[in-house]
Chain A
């Protein structure tokens, strides 16, 4: 695919937002967005992990899986790379930056099961990105995810004082808000198309 990494980066944030158009990372998006501070913390960790693991997985895919003719093991290998990286990151942060560990530490285990991380790696393989494109796509997707969760968290804070039908409280209304946000993001979709 010959689309420049720069365009891909912006496209991943706006036109094909990982959450609002590809529905990835919904679980932690819905459960963590109750507070803005924790949403921000999780979002930052997602950006960091997403950018690095996409790069790592690209290298693993290109230099181990393809030459070894074991592409069918990609799911297992990607999951292991992500889990191992998150674990390593947790150890490093705990050892060298305890202050950061207290703010981000609790989110790291959540990230292993965040499907956005794994999903971006799969998209990278399916769409045949180059190394630079993968990094750009990973970083852009992470920023897009942070944007989406921050917007929802901010809106949910406003909602606390509003009356919502009982059956729709919590997840129901969050999904409707997300739908409206997704509708707004459809407005960007004419700018550039990545498939």
Chain B
């Protein structure tokens, strides 16, 4: 029986979904041109991951193996719909900017990955902690990429201007290619500094 903190650290850092397992890249790249979008997206994923993990684990003994995937997808979809409706009602501006990517949380491989690898074999509370951990690890990556892109692309952080008038926005940071480069750099740095891959 693993301790709760250990489960959290494991799914948030050691086995981080984005940089270690290369899952959920789509949304990590698409919504990160602004930090606010990254944060909201991260929170949405934490919510759906934690609760879907909890629910899937709760009914794991009563789920026939043959329809397992379909049941998991439907449970995940139910929580994502809640996130989508909440955003549409309370943060319509951000909901519009995130566009289809909120709905795409359903096909985000992280959710299926955690459901299969963890929630279908562990108790509900552990699965909940694991979901929060994986979600925090994912949000962390989004915020780092969002920080770099917003700082250089708009000269601001969370919409607050930090660069003076002398600053010229790098329009490439707003465009798609920069997201690929920054994620690649992030993975490179983490491989060398955190996992100590031998050069």
Category for how many chain A residues contact B: 35 or more
Could you tell me if A118 and B107 are in contact, using CB atoms closer than 8 angstroms? Answer: yes
Could you tell me if A167 and B191 are in contact, using CB atoms closer than 8 angstroms? Answer: yes
Residues of chain A in range 35-81 having any CB-CB distance to chain B below 8 Å? 72-76, 79
Could you tell me if B176 and A182 are in contact, using CB atoms closer than 8 angstroms? Answer: yes
The distance in angstroms between the C-alpha atoms of A76 and B105, with both chains bound, is 12
Contact of B184 with A by CB under 8 A:
yes
Assuming A114-B107, A118-B107, is B100 touching A75 (CB within 8 A)? no
Could you tell me if A168 and B103 are in contact, using CB atoms closer than 8 angstroms? Answer: no
A160 shortest CB reach to chain B, Å: 18
CB closest chain-B residue, reference A27? B109
Residues of A within 8 A of B177 (CB): 179-180, 182-183, 186
Contact of B140 with A by CB under 8 A:
no
Assuming A119-B100, A122-B103, is B85 touching A172 (CB within 8 A)? no
Choose among A115, A171, A182, A183 the residue with the greatest number of B CB atoms under 10 Å from its CB.
Answer: A115
Known: A23-B27, A166-B198, A179-B181. 5 other contacts (CB 8 A): A21-B176, A75-B81, A119-B100, A119-B104, A172-B188
Binding site for A on B (CB under 8 A): 22-27, 29-30, 70, 73-74, 77-78, 80-81, 84-85, 99-100, 103-104, 106-109, 112, 172, 175-181, 183-184, 187-189, 191-192, 197-199
Binding site for B on A (CB under 8 A): 20-27, 30-31, 72-76, 79, 83, 113-115, 118-119, 122-123, 126, 165-168, 171-173, 175-176, 178-180, 182-183, 186
